[in-house]
Structure 1
Amino acid sequence: MQAIILAAGMGRRLKKLTENQPKCMVQVNQVPLIERMLKQLDQYHLNRIILVTGHEGEQLRTFTASLTLSTPIIYIDNPVYQTTNNIYSLYLAKEHLLHDDTILLESDLIFEQEVLTQIIQNPYPNLALVAHFESWMDGTVVLLDEQDNITKFLTRKDFRFEDIHSYYKTVNIYKFSKGFSETKYVPFLEAYSKALGNNEYYEQVLKVISLLDDHDLKATRLENGFWYEIDDEQDLDIAESIFTDSQSRLSRISSRYGGFWRYPGLLDFCYLVNPYFPNSRLMGEIKASFEALCTNYPSGLEINNLLAAKSLGLNRDHVLTGNGAAELIKPLIRFFERGVGIVRPSFEEYGNCARQPVPFTVSTPDFSYTVYDLMEFYKDKEIDALVLVNPENPTGNYIKKNDVVSLLEFCAERNTYLILDESFLDFSAAEEEPSLMNQETLDAYPNLVLIKSISKSYGVPGLRLGILACSDPSVTALVRKELPVWNINSLAEYFLQIFEKYQSDYTEALRRFKETRIHMYEELGTIRQLKLYPSEANFILCEIIDGCSASQIAELLLNRYNILVKDLSNKSGMEGREFIRIAVRTKEDNNRLADALKHILR
């Protein structure tokens, strides 16, 4: 068996990175793509590697010749790489296709070793390696039948985004037997090039062959191992976070704070949402209006405040909408000149934004605290505001409504604002009506500032929606001054417009969630190395008690199982102990996580 690598292209989308070097010499974590690929191929004792060069070809030949490899490299130059596409590069290597079984690769790929092993060790002679199509992918897309026969190569005309669940993207790694090349691929390659020219792609030949009744070409669905195709600088950035050592992979992916749809198969237990809302009916309504929403400006801030107030039953002058709760928190907290009381451990955005944070550090082993603990601590402290996240993040500690009102009155007596973050309150099963977000309470307590993340409770983090409610006009006026006229987009505005219609569906979603959380507690509770803490939120705090570190567990979950959890090793107020925070997702996802933890901690 031999390998043919197509490496003639200019890689224009990588801009300056490929001005003076071949695309395949772009480095991923200090290792050129071509070096990595050649060393991986070298492990299979191939007869030869044929490298088709073009842009900066002499530089590529010099570099690859300097590598220590046991497999000989044969070079073929494409002198017209600037005006041809990869069909001509393969055409130049067609004689080699006739001499041996061939692994065909494109040089802008990066992959783990098992990706190559899967196609090379598969006994079927003629294969295209494919992966489930993801919305960010670009390139050749195919349909498969139950026997993995390629039934169709899709054109742009055929492509329908509503059907992507049934699509597969070619990984651009193929295996052709010598006989397949002799009787099918090379004859069709020659005919296609003669008829349509050399400014095409070699996949077009496969498309024609797939129309034959006995084309002999199957697919093998990628089962294990990461791969990525690097076409631009964003691809390169993502590849560097995937193809690195296990410790760096966790830190690099975590520091992205989202965008995980670009990571194939990644299961996110780190960021917190509602797994059962929005439902398909609500999403269908948004999809039906998507074109209009994308091509029109959203309303201004005041109109969106009205929409939010209407849905929540509040006075429009008392409500502000934000591009996520984070957009509202910063100007609010920066408003206070004196100290701001914060709890540790808690959501750290409040403390990070405060000019003078005055922390109350929870000292109980289970991180539980009461309003009386807060009152006792802050009774002689000079603070302008006190922040309470209820339920608390990441501990899940919950304070009942009557006690929160007592704390609110305590703050009022001291001319102190209580900033109450109810972002996780809808997930609580402790009380029937735990929220203070009603007009009567706001009117009675002008010192109450309510914060709610719509993203978390309603499961739409991509819309970036947050709410601030306060009856004190000085607070809302100051925060409003810091917000742009168009601070939320049309999709978010439309969600505010329609979500009230789906309130009964939302209530049902919360009921299902609470059942799922109980089930997840039961599953994780069977793992003796974990100590679980009570939670009224959409996550569970887990302490690791067998000597393993939280970072070790988080790394193993990511690198072995493609599961991301929150490592709390560096969380203020939790020093000296090992904790991870796990989001509650669907039962199927939760079981997958529990099984992974059982294997790791077994």
Structure 2
Amino acid sequence: MQAIILAAGMGKRLKELTSNATKCMVEVNGEMMIHKTLMHLEKLNLNKIVLVVGYEGQQLMDYVNSLGLKTPVEYVVNDVYDKTNNIYSLYLAKEYLLQDDTLLLESDLVYEEAVIRKLVDTPYPSLVLVDKFESWMDGTCITVDEDDNITSFVSKREFDFTKTDEYYKTVNLYKFSKNFSEKYYVPFLEAYCNAMGLNEYYEQVLKVITFLGDLEIKAVKLNGEKWYEIDDVQDLDIAESLLAGKEEKLEKMQKRFGGYWRYPKLIDFCYLVNPYFPNKKLVSEMQTNFERLLGEYPSGMGVNSLIAAKIFGLHASQVIVGNGAAELIKSLMERFTGRLGMAFPTFQEYPNRKAEKDVVPYFVTNDEFRYTAKNLMDFYEDKDIEVLALINPDNPSGNYIRREDVLKLSEWCEKKNIRFVVDESFVDFVDEEETTTLLDAEILKANPNLIVVKSISKSYGVPGLRLGVLASSDEELIAEMKKDVAIWNINSFAEFYLQIYEKYAKDYAKAIEKFKQTRAAYIKDLQALSGLRVLPTQANYVLCEVTSGVTSRKLAEDLLEENILIKDLSTKKGFDGKNYIRLAVRDEKDNAILVEALKRYL
């Protein structure tokens, strides 16, 4: 068996990365793509490797020659790489296809060894390597029958997004038997080039061959093996996180702060949402209005304030809607020049908006990370702070201060002339008491120093819409913030969600009740695990101490290898390097997957 690698292209979409080198010489995690490919092929004891070069071809040949490969390497030069497509590169190497069984590879792929092994070790002589279609994939797709026979090749022009469940993406790694090349591929390759020209793709030849019916080529499906096609810098970024070494992968993934739909097999126990809302009917209503919302401007801040005021029982002059709570927190904290008081460990968005010298931390040092309103009043009694911020329930501890005590703390702050910010993004998940929220017009009026922040993303399960609200009876503050943020700071989809939410309020209440039942069962399962100390929580996450001897960092790295992302807290301020993790509460199915994985690693 031999390998043919197509490496003539210019890789223009990688911009400066390919200004002086061909695409396959771009590095992924410090290793050139061509080097990784050649090292995989070296282990296969091939008869030879044929490299079709073009753009910066001499540089590529010099590099490959310097590696001292034991496998013989031969070169084919495409001098018109800038005027042709990959069908011509393969056409130039067609005589090699007639000489031996062939692995055909494109050079802009990065993949683990198991990927090429799947192709080589599958005994059928001629194969197209495919993976289940996912949203990040681009290019040729196929459909297959129950016996993995290829039923059609689907071009970009024919692609139907309503049928993506049926599609498999070609990985651009193929195995052609010598017989298949002689009987089918090379004759059709020659005919296609003569008829259609040289600015085409070699997959089109396979598409034509499928019309013959009884093919001697099948699909072989990947099952979780990692690969990525590099076309631009975004692809490169994702590939580096997907294929990073175990120790680097966790850090790379956490630095993304979301966007995990690009990793469709990943189960995210790091970022926090409501697993049971919105329901299918609400989603269906938004889908029905998708085209109109996509093509029309949202309303301005004034209209959205009215919508939010209606939902939360406020006056429009008391509330501002944000592009996520984070936008509002940034605008709010910029209005304060004095020092900030907060309990630690906590949600870092507030202290990160201040210089370290302007943060006066109250470190919670007990094993349960519990604290009360009295603890805060006692600690800050003699401290010079302008603002006291309370996350309630706190993140990541899940500590909850009851509503009447929060109001006592508000009274204390007013007497001390301290602005009191209460972030109640997780308060809907509380089951300690029935009435929890401070988003109430009368409460705000009675507490002029009080500012309430709520993330819609977390409790209402719509983080992709980026919604949050901030409320206060300080109408001057609210007016200033409305001038600070953009007039169209939320999009039409987010506005429409707010507009229709009240129709689904009862469904939301049911979702919260279901969540509380799921959380109770989840905590019970976690408590049954040895090597894990589970702390009480009133939020949609659980703080746990890892006591098995494995570090929290190592546990997070191990779980990520199984496509499970958790939050390692060992480096978070307030934990002093201790082995704590935060686990989101998801639905029963996902929770069970995590619990089983924890059993193995603990």
TM-score in terms of structure 2 length: 0.97
Q: Which residue does 1:563 correspond to in 2?
A: 564
2:81 aligned with 1:76:
no
* CA deviation map 1:63-119 (0-9, x unaligned): 111112111111111122111111111111122112221111100000011111111
* CA deviation map 1:326-379 (0-9, x unaligned): 111122123223322211011111112235222111121110111111121122
Q: Which residue does 2:420 correspond to in 1?
A: 418
Q: Which residue does 1:372 correspond to in 2?
A: 374
The aligned runs of 1:235-274 (5 Å cut-off) are 235-274=235-274
2:110 aligned with 1:110:
yes
Q: Which residue does 1:536 correspond to in 2?
A: 538
8 Å contact kept, 1:299–1:486: yes
How far the C-alpha of 1:524 sits from its partner, in A, is: 2.0
The aligned runs of 1:390-401 (5 Å cut-off) are 390-401=392-403
Q: Which residue does 2:524 correspond to in 1?
A: 522
Q: Which residue does 1:320 correspond to in 2?
A: 320
What RMSD, in angstroms, separates the aligned Cα atoms of the two structures? 1.6
**SS at 1:44 equivalent:** coil
Which amino acid in structure 1 is aligned with residue 311 of structure 2? S
Aligned-partner Cα distance in 1 for 2:144–2:231: 26
* CA deviation map 1:465-494 (0-9, x unaligned): 110011112321332232121211222112
Aligned-partner Cα distance in 2 for 1:437–1:401: 11
Aligned-partner Cα distance in 2 for 1:353–1:442: 24
8 Å contact kept, 1:450–1:469: yes
**SS at 2:386 equivalent:** strand
2:297 aligned with 1:297:
yes
Structure 1 unmatched ranges of 5 or more: none
Distance 1:125 1:511, change over 3 A: farther
Aligned-partner Cα distance in 1 for 2:110–2:554: 26
Q: Which residue does 2:214 correspond to in 1?
A: 214
**SS at 1:216 equivalent:** coil
How far the C-alpha of 1:273 sits from its partner, in A, is: 0.9
Q: Which residue does 1:227 correspond to in 2?
A: 227
Which amino acid in structure 2 is aligned with residue 419 of structure 1? V
Aligned-partner Cα distance in 2 for 1:311–1:364: 38
* CA deviation map 1:165-201 (0-9, x unaligned): 3322111111112222122222221222222111111
8 Å contact kept, 2:139–2:155: no
**SS at 1:383 equivalent:** coil
* CA deviation map 1:201-228 (0-9, x unaligned): 1111111222222113222221132111
The aligned runs of 1:61-100 (5 Å cut-off) are 61-100=61-100
8 Å contact kept, 2:139–2:156: no
Aligned-partner Cα distance in 2 for 1:391–1:123: 57
8 Å contact kept, 2:140–2:156: no
How far the C-alpha of 1:322 sits from its partner, in A, is: 0.9
* CA deviation map 1:498-524 (0-9, x unaligned): 122111221222222222212222322
Q: Which residue does 1:170 correspond to in 2?
A: 170
**SS at 2:542 equivalent:** strand
Aligned-partner Cα distance in 2 for 1:510–1:209: 55
Which amino acid in structure 2 is aligned with residue 279 of structure 1? N
Aligned-partner Cα distance in 2 for 1:61–1:572: 51
How far the C-alpha of 1:295 sits from its partner, in A, is: 2.2
Which amino acid in structure 1 is aligned with residue 77 of structure 2? D
8 Å contact kept, 2:317–2:479: no
Q: Which residue does 2:494 correspond to in 1?
A: 492
Q: Which residue does 1:409 correspond to in 2?
A: 411
2:505 aligned with 1:508:
no
Which amino acid in structure 2 is aligned with residue 435 of structure 1? T
Q: Which residue does 1:583 correspond to in 2?
A: 584
- Range with greater deviation from structure 2 (361-370 or 411-420): 411-420
Aligned-partner Cα distance in 1 for 2:284–2:56: 50
Which amino acid in structure 2 is aligned with residue 314 of structure 1? L
* CA deviation map 1:526-559 (0-9, x unaligned): 220111111111111111012221111111111x
TM-score in terms of structure 1 length: 0.97
Which amino acid in structure 1 is aligned with residue 523 of structure 2? Y
Percent identical:
54
* CA deviation map 1:403-442 (0-9, x unaligned): 2222222222222222111101112222222112122212
Which amino acid in structure 2 is aligned with residue 544 of structure 1? V
Structure 2 unmatched ranges of 5 or more: none
Aligned-partner Cα distance in 1 for 2:208–2:149: 14
Which amino acid in structure 1 is aligned with residue 498 of structure 2? L
Q: Which residue does 2:202 correspond to in 1?
A: 202
Q: Which residue does 1:332 correspond to in 2?
A: 332
Aligned-partner Cα distance in 1 for 2:258–2:193: 44
How far the C-alpha of 1:155 sits from its partner, in A, is: 2.8
Aligned-partner Cα distance in 2 for 1:162–1:434: 43
Q: Which residue does 2:181 correspond to in 1?
A: 181
Aligned-partner Cα distance in 2 for 1:144–1:129: 12
**SS at 2:105 equivalent:** strand
The aligned runs of 1:28-177 (5 Å cut-off) are 28-177=28-177
8 Å contact kept, 1:115–1:224: no
Aligned-partner Cα distance in 2 for 1:518–1:319: 34
How far the C-alpha of 1:397 sits from its partner, in A, is: 0.8
How far the C-alpha of 1:257 sits from its partner, in A, is: 0.8
Aligned-partner Cα distance in 1 for 2:506–2:6: 57
**SS at 2:548 equivalent:** coil
Distance 1:162 1:430, change over 3 A: farther
How far the C-alpha of 1:264 sits from its partner, in A, is: 4.2
Aligned-partner Cα distance in 1 for 2:598–2:212: 48
**SS at 1:591 equivalent:** helix
Could you list the runs of 4 or more consecutive aligned residues of structure 1 that deviate by over 3 angstroms after TM superposition? none
Q: Which residue does 1:358 correspond to in 2?
A: 360
Aligned-partner Cα distance in 2 for 1:245–1:6: 27
Distance 1:199 1:337, change over 3 A: closer
Aligned-partner Cα distance in 2 for 1:588–1:322: 33
Distance 1:17 1:179, change over 3 A: same
Q: Which residue does 1:572 correspond to in 2?
A: 573
Aligned-partner Cα distance in 1 for 2:262–2:338: 43
Q: Which residue does 1:597 correspond to in 2?
A: 598
- Which one of 361, 379, 385 corresponds to residue 383 of structure 1? 385
How far the C-alpha of 1:157 sits from its partner, in A, is: 4.0
- Range with greater deviation from structure 2 (236-245 or 74-83): 236-245
Which amino acid in structure 1 is aligned with residue 112 of structure 2? E
8 Å contact kept, 1:210–1:217: no
**SS at 1:367 equivalent:** coil
Aligned-partner Cα distance in 1 for 2:491–2:200: 40
Aligned-partner Cα distance in 2 for 1:597–1:494: 40
Aligned-partner Cα distance in 1 for 2:96–2:143: 29
Q: Which residue does 1:435 correspond to in 2?
A: 437
